[in-house]
Structure 1
Amino acid sequence: MNDLTTTKGFYNTYLNLLPQFETQKKCFDFLNAEIEMINGEKMFFSFMDFKKYI
Structure 2
Amino acid sequence: MNSVSAQLILVLTSLLLSLPVVEAVAAGDAIALLLGVVLSITGICACLGIYARKRNGQM
TM-score of the pair, normalised by structure 2: 0.39
Structure richer in helix, relative to its length: 2
